[in-house]
Chains A and B, each alone.
Chain A
Amino acid sequence: MARHVSRRETLAGVGIAALSAGCLDRTRNIAGRDRSSQLTLEINAPPADRDPNAIRIARHLAENLNAVGIDARINTLGLTDLRRKVLINHNFDVYVGQFREAEPFDPDAMYAFTHSQFVAESGWQNPFGFTDINGTDELLASQRRTGGDERREAVEDLQRTLCELQPFTVVAFPDPLTAVREDRFENWTNRQPLSVGGLLGVERVDAGDGDADGTGTESGDGTAAGDNETTAGDNETTAGDDETTAGDNETTANGLIGDNPFTDSGDEEGDSATLRLVTTDERITQNWNPIAAEYRRYGTFTSLLYDRLALVEDGEIIPWLAAGWERVGDSGIEVSLRDVDWHDGKPVTAEDVAFTYEFLQDTSMGTTESPVPTPTFRGRVSAVDEATAVDEITVRLTLDGVNDAVGVRALQVPILPKHIWEERTDVATIAGFEVDAETTEAVVTNNEDPIGSGPVRFVEASPEESVAFERNPDHFLVRADDGDDSTGDAMDPLAGIPERFRGKPAFDRLEIEVMGSDIAAVQAVGDGFADATVSNLGPDAVPRIGREADARLVTGRSGGFYHVGYNTRRAPLSNPRFRGVLASLIDKRSLVDIAFDGYAEAAASPLAAAPEWVPSDLQWGDGETDPVHPFVGEPGSLDAETARDRLREAGYRFDEEGRLIAPGA
């Protein structure tokens, strides 16, 4: 570490010399200058126990930064503290993290992430303080309002601009790896096993049909399977018969069993209908606020608590809380709601929906000097100008001239009950004192006992250890499925809902337990204490899944790309050329092999999960290296001298020991 003689000592020393020499002016000219020192960059990342991949990226970058003469320090922080530091306080140099979209996403996700209008806001909107008003801002605005080829062109240019300016460096799109065991629940999708759709699509393995599912059931816990059989009684046998003939019938069969009140309340059934998940991310045991930026990773479980108007799964738009919608005029959408209740029994009305959109724009509802917008979903609600309730079940959204794709994104925000959240518009206080006028209660609340309308309800939690949810028997997926066959003549209350979600979820209870590390999580699945892992698995945990007899690896495609984010408010990170050199210090190819054990795709563009949007000049392809900022050196070994030359070309200087001198520090 570079530590120089302090300025005070220097001044004391030269002071005597200067007085005796008498040339005070010259001394002032020299001593008055700030002394140069080595550039220090702090890289913030979660510890390996919480995220085994991010710390490896941070280590790799730190090593290469040190090799080119930059003093890189790794600061490990818990997930919540890291988010607070980066997203809320903007008090960081560099961070390593994941984007908050679980699935491949529409290009408009970049709007909040990089538009300069959000630099002063805290949350998932532009944490970099990035401003490129003529390029990025215009392209972001234009891709919102145009369609067809015009939009495609804007999106392609947007990616080129972002790749060139590097407010953040995309490292890789990780495969969402999950260790699952299938002796109790099956049908884990190979796309997004732990998304809302993935969890709702899971089926219960019925007792007594071990032949259908291979050896898993037989070698598994025979006692639990036996219990199941006794309670479910007659229904079970029919279901079993159906299943041997056709797998498709499974859904309805399971639905019927699930709805059976005797089965639902059956105590002796024990944990056989409990889906048990393990995670290394303790945040879901502490906080259930769907808009809290520090506590949500992808927001999967809060999405199960809070329905959205639409659910998008694998590109398929499913009307969810909304029964349907139609375009009205140029910029309006009229949304009609399904007949749904909140978990506290009050009905979900158009008033709640209108409130939600207004509330997310300004969680203080106009009571503070300047609005306090939501720290998440900001880009989505910014597409909605106005929301008004037309009648009890119809709401009209006036869009800000955006295209259909952006309109659909705007329908994907958690709908909040007005009667609860309108109490949370005051400025947040600690023991009655206002600490920060920029924050409302809604943003900082842990939202204990969350009341949503979703397919699961909150039951109990013990912070940092576990949380339990239960199936919501009044949810439209379940309630409407009851009378499905008999009342076929009226409007289908489940119109637009795919067969695989009807009567779901298949579990009565959902338990999430926090484990010490990814390895412990995989072990828990292998030992039969859990059905699936939720959080990321590192290179030491993945091979373990193969060794566990009953565990299987399920994977899919993720939108949550790992990236290195720069605080462009701070020199020299404010300089895009400097950031470009930093990007070329990251050996994405090797990182994919080492940090992800090959279970990731290196990428240059943040939209690489949706390859149809990526222009050919930004595609990674079979190439070994980044198309815009290729790694300096051979894969696995950095060419530090060339990297230093790049920095010199960009105007940076080094001292005689090869340390990069902090500009203006």
Chain B
Amino acid sequence: MSPLLSVVSSLALWVGSALLVASVAIIRPRRLYGLWNDLRDRLWEIRKPLAALVVVLIASAIGRSSLQTVSELFGLQLTWAIYALEGNFVAWLQSTFGSPQLTMYFSSVYVYGYVFLLAFPFLAYLALPRTTTVKRLLVAYALNYAIGLVLYTVVFAYGPRNVMPDMVTSLLFTHNPEFMALTGEVNEPTNVFPSLHTSLSVTVGTFAVLTRREYPLWTPLAAWLAASVVIATMYLGIHWLTDVIGGTALALGAVSLSYRLVDEE
């Protein structure tokens, strides 16, 4: 239990500080002040999408292990098909660009950067005078998770590090085995298609582009972080290119659906 606790506390510390700095720099104190005064009303306004997200997350936490069993028994075993489709792309990526510095960068982006990337927009959009965007963001998150869970159940596949350890090093866990304690809590190793890291990052990135008028500083930062997380999933040997493409498609679908479901006020 101890390794998990230390990873979680370090995660909370780093992401917490990053959120603080980014809030001041990007959301600006004036809006933060407004958010603080109006927090209760705004949370009440977004109660429905927030509840939807919480329900999806709880269902995922509870149902994951039984859905995993269903996937083992009846899922499509597609590891070989994914490999046949893309071959050694991930191995090529690692062998061409691999370096200790990049490994450190992508490892921290994959864990710390990702959590920051998902948490910050919630704050930022909640601070906007109108709640449409934050509602859409929550709906898009929920859709990502819900559809992702269905696909995980249908597709049973292992990632490159598990299939070709001779060519793809499991960089994240080789250099930071303590992270495994954390990711093991939230992920099954067979849940690779689609990459949820990719889909949620791309979701945030897309929202950042769509809201560039409100937060012009956030757009390039989000795009950079999202791109880094997407590359990290492959560079670290966790996901196939196929998972990333699938994750991107899921993200774009989820964002457009969220725009349809939540109308402009």
Contact = CB atoms under 8 A, between A and B. Distances in A.
B184 A48 contact: no
Contacts of A551: none
A520 B83 contact: no
B65 A81 contact: no
Contacts of A519: 170, 173-174, 177
Interface string A534-555: 0000101000000000000000
A48 B177 contact: no
A73 B77 CA distance: 11
A221 to B, nearest CB: 12
B245 interface: no
A540 B175 CA distance: 11
Contacts of B165: 48, 52, 55-56, 59, 538, 540
Given A76-B158, A520-B173, A540-B174, A56 B180 contact: no
A517 to B, nearest CB: 6
Nearest to A527: B3
B84 A1 contact: yes
B158 to A, nearest CB: 4
A55 B174 contact: no
Interface in B155-206: 157-158, 161-166, 169-170, 173-174, 177-178, 180-181, 183-184, 189-190
Contacts of B183: 516
A76 B162 contact: yes
Interface string A503-538: 000000000000111011001100101000000001
B185 to A, nearest CB: 10
A70 to B, nearest CB: 14
Nearest to B81: A73
A49 B174 contact: no
A520 B181 contact: yes
B102 to A, nearest CB: 19
A231 B164 CA distance: 51
Contacts of B178: 523
B170 A48 contact: yes
B177 A523 contact: yes
A594 B166 contact: yes
A389 B98 CA distance: 68
Interface string B1-38: 01100000000000000000000000000000000000
Given A516-B180, A520-B180, A529-B3, A75 B77 contact: yes
A77 interface: yes
Which interface residue of A81, A515, A517 has the most chain B CB atoms within 10 A?
A517
B80 interface: yes
A76 B177 contact: no
A483 to B, nearest CB: 41
Nearest to A521: B177
Interface residues of B, number: 29
Which interface residue of A76, A463, A464, A527 has the most chain B CB atoms within 10 A?
A76
B77 A77 contact: yes
Interface size class of A (residues with CB under 8 A): 20 to 34
A540 B166 CA distance: 10
B169 A540 contact: yes
A517 B179 CA distance: 11
A464 B169 CA distance: 25
A527 B72 CA distance: 33
Contacts of B79: 74-76
Contact of A47 (B158, B169, B181): B158
Interface in A54-84: 55-56, 59-60, 73-78, 81
A573 to B, nearest CB: 18
A52 B166 CA distance: 10
A449 interface: no
A42 interface: yes
Given A75-B80, A76-B79, A515-B180, A529 B2 contact: yes
A463 B68 CA distance: 13
Interface in A462-487: 463-464
Nearest to A466: B1
Nearest to A48: B165
A535 to B, nearest CB: 14
Which interface residue of B166, B169, B183 has the most chain A CB atoms within 10 A?
B166
B3 A517 contact: no
Contacts of B177: 516-517, 519-520, 523
Nearest to B65: A464
A99 to B, nearest CB: 22
A517 B177 CA distance: 9
Contacts of A49: 162, 189
A524 B1 CA distance: 11
A538 B169 CA distance: 12
B152 to A, nearest CB: 15
Interface string A552-584: 000000000000000000000000000000000
B72 A517 contact: no
B164 A59 contact: yes
B174 A42 contact: no
A59 B91 CA distance: 14
A524 B3 contact: yes
Contacts of A60: 166
Interface in B201-247: none
A463 B66 CA distance: 12
Contacts of A77: 77
Which interface residue of B80, B83, B170, B178 has the most chain A CB atoms within 10 A?
B80
B155 to A, nearest CB: 13
Interface string B124-166: 0000000000000000000000000000000001100111111
Contact of B189 (A47, A52, A59): A47
A55 B80 contact: no
Contacts of A75: 77, 79-80
B183 to A, nearest CB: 8
A55 B174 CA distance: 17
Given A76-B163, A516-B177, A519-B177, 4 more contacts: A74-B79, A74-B163, A75-B77, A76-B158
10 contacts: A47-B163, A52-B165, A55-B165, A56-B166, A75-B77, A76-B158, A517-B170, A523-B178, A540-B165, A594-B166
